[in-house]
């Protein structure tokens, strides 16, 4: 099987190098050239019977043609080579190798870059998960002593009275706040968090879009910007003004 799919031709060179050949001779030249290219330019056995079979003619007829086309070929170790195609083959083989090497280098760089990006993204994802502990259900409330737990429940019941809107799951909010506090992710008191929550609620157009307080804590909502774009009412100019 040939290694390269393309035999590059320059028409001016072909015309100038074969203009003295008759059609039958030219046909034999092309039969031999194409067979050489298919065999990776490794050479054809230089025997008239073998070459005549490639040209689909008799050994006698091929022998009469051979002397007229021999200037296009060379012989080495009893093998026949086409002179110009052998040069083209070596050049094309070198170019193909260079392109393959360059492609492998690019692929290796891209793979290294992609792996580095994947590792970095994975690390950032792990860090984000660690930085944002999330309470899955209210059944996880077993970490605080009873006295401390009851004290926190009372505190957040008072917080609920001042929330606008007063949407809060108190046990979940207590647990979430203590998780954040023990992880060092919050340095604000429940009262301060309530005030920030209320401030954000007043600066949006519809409070129904304000998240429930314990979910707001889980998302560390106090770090979000409280600046919202106000809705600007369009007042078209009067046609009579």
Report, as an integer, the average pLDDT of 211-223: 86
- pTM above 0.95? no
pLDDT in the model for residue 136: 46
pLDDT over threshold 80, residue 231: no
pLDDT band at 124 (very low <50, low <70, confident <90, very high): low
| Number of residues written out for the chain | 241
90 or 206, higher pLDDT: 90
237 or 92, higher pLDDT: 92
pLDDT in the model for residue 28: 96
> What is the tens place of the pLDDT at every residue in 10-27?
888 889 889 889 999 999
pLDDT in the model for residue 130: 53
Domains annotated on the chain, with CATH: 11-88 (1.10.10), 138-223 (no CATH)
Show the DSSP H helices in the chain as ranges.
Answer: 11-18, 23-38, 48-54, 59-69, 83-131, 146-162, 170-182, 190-202, 213-218
Q: What's the mean per-residue pLDDT of the chain?
A: 80
pLDDT band at 71 (very low <50, low <70, confident <90, very high): very high
Report, as an integer, the average pLDDT of 193-219: 84
Closest to 220 in 3D by CA, of 92, 137, 131, 148:
131
Q: What DSSP designation does 209 have?
A: G
Please give the Cα distance from 105 to 207 (Å, whole number): 56
pLDDT over threshold 70, residue 5: no
């Amino acid at each position: 099987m040939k290694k390269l799919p393309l035999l590059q031709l320059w028409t001016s060179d072909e015309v100038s190098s074969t203009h003295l050949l008759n059609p039958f001779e030219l046909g034999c030249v092309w039969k031999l050239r194409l067979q050489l290219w298919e065999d990776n330019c490794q050479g054809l056995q230089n025997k008239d019977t073998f070459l005549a079979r490639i040209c689909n003619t008799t050994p006698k007829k091929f022998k009469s043609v051979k002397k007229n086309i021999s200037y296009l070929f060379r012989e080495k170790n009893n093998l026949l080579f086409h002179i110009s195609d052998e040069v083209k083959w070596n050049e094309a083989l070198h170019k193909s190798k260079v392109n393959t090497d360059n492609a492998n280098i690019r692929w290796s760089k891209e793979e290294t870059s992609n792996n580095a990006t994947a590792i970095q993204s994975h690390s950032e994802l792990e860090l984000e998960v660690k930085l944002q502990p999330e309470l899955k259900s209210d059944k996880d409330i077993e970490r605080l002593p009873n006295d401390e737990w009851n004290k926190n429940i009372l505190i957040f019941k008072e917080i609920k009275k001042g929330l606008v809107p007063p949407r809060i799951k108190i046990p979940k909010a207590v647990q979430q706040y203590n998780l954040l506090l023990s992880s060092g992710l919050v340095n604000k008191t429940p009262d301060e968090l309530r005030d920030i929550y209320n401030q954000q609620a007043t600066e949006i157009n519809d409070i129904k879009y304000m998240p429930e307080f314990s979910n707001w804590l889980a998302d560390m909502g106090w770090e979000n910007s409280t600046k919202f774009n106000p809705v600007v009412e369009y007042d078209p100019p009067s046609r009579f003004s």
